[in-house]
A and B are shown apart, each in its own frame.
Chain A
Amino acid sequence: DAKTTQPPSMDCAEGRAANLPCNHSTISGNEYVYWYRQIHSQGPQYIIHGLKNNETNEMASLIITEDRKSSTLILPHATLRDTAVYYCIVRGSNTDKLIFGTGTRLQVFP
């Protein structure tokens, strides 16, 4: 599986968009980009995933660059409850393991 690189921490003002970047320059054609988050010490929660098209759901949007070497998770109107560690994971469709990196710690402030 391709490795990912994320900034260790980010801040965002409440009500503003939070844009979390992820670099996955060695991604291969059959690998998906997944985002999970972990609030405090709870179990991680799935957010969104995509292959090459941009994706949107009720929680967030995922923008994947045309060359697929990087992506951005967008939380359109961050709230204090979005304070969490966000994990970007690249996983092949034929890969059984689900491996987490170190993630980005997002702090949303009032």
Chain B
Amino acid sequence: NAGVTQTPKFRILKIGQSMTLQCTQDMNHNYMYWYRQDPGMGLKLIYYSVGAGITDKGEVPNGYNVSRSTTEDFPLRLELAAPSQTSVYFCASSYRTVMNTEAFFGQGTRLTVV
């Protein structure tokens, strides 16, 4: 199993550009999450999904969009990139049950908006 794979690892965007951060998992997990982490800070939840076709907002959803058309993939779309979106983005997945919701994280995408 590859686990949670994020692409790209690094990206520089110009203000106003758009891009999609890719996240895929091969563990057949039903739950997937997107987080951002600013320098020296904790993780903030952007969006999450409890299954294909279902998404919901987290703590900081403004400026982002997501979709979940398959169990495996959960792309994060940035429209009109702004310097405030400079951050490290982490995707995670978990197989949600009542007893155990261990989440597995990808290695992150480091995004700089200039």
Contact = CB atoms under 8 A, between A and B. Distances in A.
Q: Is chain B's binding surface mostly helix, strand, loop or mixed?
A: strand
**A: contact size bracket:** 20 to 34
B43 interface: yes
Given A41-B108, A42-B108, A98 B88 contact: no
Interface residues on B, range: 20 to 34
Nearest to A95: B101
A8 to B, nearest CB: 11
A44 B56 contact: no
A49 B50 contact: no
Interface in B73-114: 88, 90, 92, 94, 96, 98-108
B92 A96 contact: no
A43 B42 contact: no
Nearest to A46: B102
A44 B43 CA distance: 9
A23 to B, nearest CB: 16
Contact of A49 (B58, B90, B98, B100): B100
A77 B96 CA distance: 31
B107 A42 contact: yes
Given A85-B42, A98-B45, 5 more contacts: A43-B106, A43-B107, A44-B92, A100-B42, A100-B44
Interface of B: 4, 31, 33, 35, 41-45, 48, 50, 56, 58-59, 88, 90, 92, 94, 96, 98-108
- In the A-B complex, list the 9 residue pairs whose CB atoms are closest, starting with the nearest: A43-B105, A100-B43, A46-B102, A102-B42, A93-B98, A100-B42, A44-B105, A43-B90, A96-B50
